[in-house]
A and B are shown apart, each in its own frame.
Chain A
Amino acid sequence: MTRRVVITGIGVRAPGGNGTKAFWDLLSNGRTATRNISFFDASQFRSRIAGEVDFDAVAEGFSPREIRRMDRATQFAVACTRDALADSGLDLGSVDPHRVGVSLGSAVASATSLENEYLVMSDAGKSWEVDPAYLSPHMFDYLSPGVMPAEVAWEVGAEGPVTMVSDGCTSGLDSVGYAVQLIREGTVDTVVAGAADTPVSPIVVACFDAIKATTTRNDDPAHASRPFDGTRNGFVLAEGAAMFVLEEYEAAKKRGAHIYAEVGGYATRCNAHHMTGLRKDGREMAEAIRVSLDEARLDGTTIDYINAHGSGTKQNDRHETAAFKRSLGDHAYNVPVSSIKSMVGHSLGAIGSVEIAASLLAIEHNVVPPTANLHTPDPECDLDYVPLTAREQRVDTVLTVGSGFGGFQSAMVLHRPEVASV
């Protein structure tokens, strides 16, 4: 008999307010949290907008030593972990640490700390050689991001498998998918899984400037992220994190845990096409959707809501729309589809987990979050994208998808446990 996996705790740090409640408040009201970059002088950049998180490490309870040691993304991951554990009500003291794992996603990991340390060591970036006299003792931690899941493991006392899943912009979906596999196969019973990325840093802004992937709507930052809109011209870079407690279903039920949803199915495919480009037909994403539905033993028509990748680039939104039609047929026209990136931006490796959080909350509240800033139809994006206003409706089953550089295409089906056709 297959072991089933459920999510019993959520922790979120996203633009527009910290914590799960603030996050859902933002989404369900269709407010946006993208703004002019305030972390540094962005005047030399093509795109000067971001989804920044107002994160106060001291108020979050981090000690000065921890703040020095941990990159901002690691702090996000640990803060979310604490929230997720508290939310789950799981007493880790009562669990065998050998049966607890950690799976953390991140695309660019310690980018912020790397850049800060580089400037210190290289005469403000002017020198190719670096001066070891200015070498931070924490530099190795920023070089090799294995420290991020390690910090989470220490936080929860996990001694099972601990890893970072770094699949670019699908990391946050794939890290949870990885955790599901660990529990299903019986390696562990509990995994703290999720993702964190804090890429609002000059080097990351510059690299997306170079490929013109980010929006130039600098005069209107609050309405700059426009997934599926005819006037969209790129994504809005953001930071964020979400962590979850995943448990084996019977164990969660036995302890009377509140279950947000079961992870019914998960699949990932590569397009083997281009590091940044997408083919128009959405073939590989459609395949990932098809396989994740098969794994969940659900028909596509049972999907109540699609939480889209919806980055707001010309090619992505078209690609994704094609993938939904290819995998779901006519049902694609009947199911509400929305992109929360319209409100919180695109936090690269973290966003997949942030979007899982949104999907779980959609089930919890029976509300479909909207796509903000969607005013102008695009003939190539002709589905129901829930423009501007959240929609109250029964939500039992959600499909959430991601797409990333490297060609990764991932899909996950989340549903109330009682929906399962077991």
Chain B
Amino acid sequence: MAQLGIDDLRRILIACAGEDDSIDLTGDILDISFEDLGYDSLALMESTARIKQEYGIDLSDDAVGDVETPRALLDLVNATEVAAA
């Protein structure tokens, strides 16, 4: 299973929650908070559900609740075992 990269995450965020017109997501966004990127808790919930659907990676609610940046989310995703099919 390929690891999730920033480009994958960017694609998922845009598909699940669109993008704030005033923010350039193509730049280096790894350490910008989701809040500053214009994403709220619903956007993150929809995105983590999509990550589970596409990659089989099931993140715990509590862990996702603590995540504030794309880097932290990617680290969490890539540290989590793929659920047995």
A interface residue numbers (CB < 8 A to B): 210-212, 274-277
Contact = CB atoms under 8 A, between A and B. Distances in A.
A274 B49 contact: no
Contacts, number: 13
B36 interface: no
By size class, the interface of chain B is under 10
A44 to B, nearest CB: 14
B45 A274 contact: no
Interface of B: 40-42, 45-46, 49, 61
A274 B61 contact: no
Contacts of B41: 277
A409 B49 CA distance: 29
Nearest to A46: B61
- Interface of chain B, main secondary structure: helix
Contacts of B42: 211, 275-277
B82 to A, nearest CB: 20
A276 B42 CA distance: 8
Given A211-B42, A212-B45, 10 more contacts: A210-B45, A210-B46, A210-B49, A211-B45, A212-B61, A274-B40, A275-B42, A277-B40, A277-B41, A277-B42
A274 B38 CA distance: 13
Nearest to A233: B61
B34 to A, nearest CB: 14
A213 to B, nearest CB: 10
B15 to A, nearest CB: 16
A45 to B, nearest CB: 14
Contacts of B49: 210
A274 B49 CA distance: 20
A274 B45 CA distance: 15
B6 to A, nearest CB: 25
A277 B43 CA distance: 12
B40 to A, nearest CB: 7
13 contacts: A210-B45, A210-B46, A210-B49, A211-B42, A211-B45, A212-B45, A212-B61, A274-B40, A275-B42, A276-B42, A277-B40, A277-B41, A277-B42
A210 B43 CA distance: 12
Nearest to A315: B41
A168 to B, nearest CB: 16
A211 B64 CA distance: 13
A211 B45 CA distance: 7
A277 B40 CA distance: 9
Contacts of A275: 42
A274 B35 CA distance: 14
A210 B61 CA distance: 11
B50 to A, nearest CB: 11
Nearest to B46: A210
A28 B18 CA distance: 49
A275 B61 CA distance: 20
Nearest to B65: A212
A210 B47 CA distance: 11
Contacts of B40: 274, 277
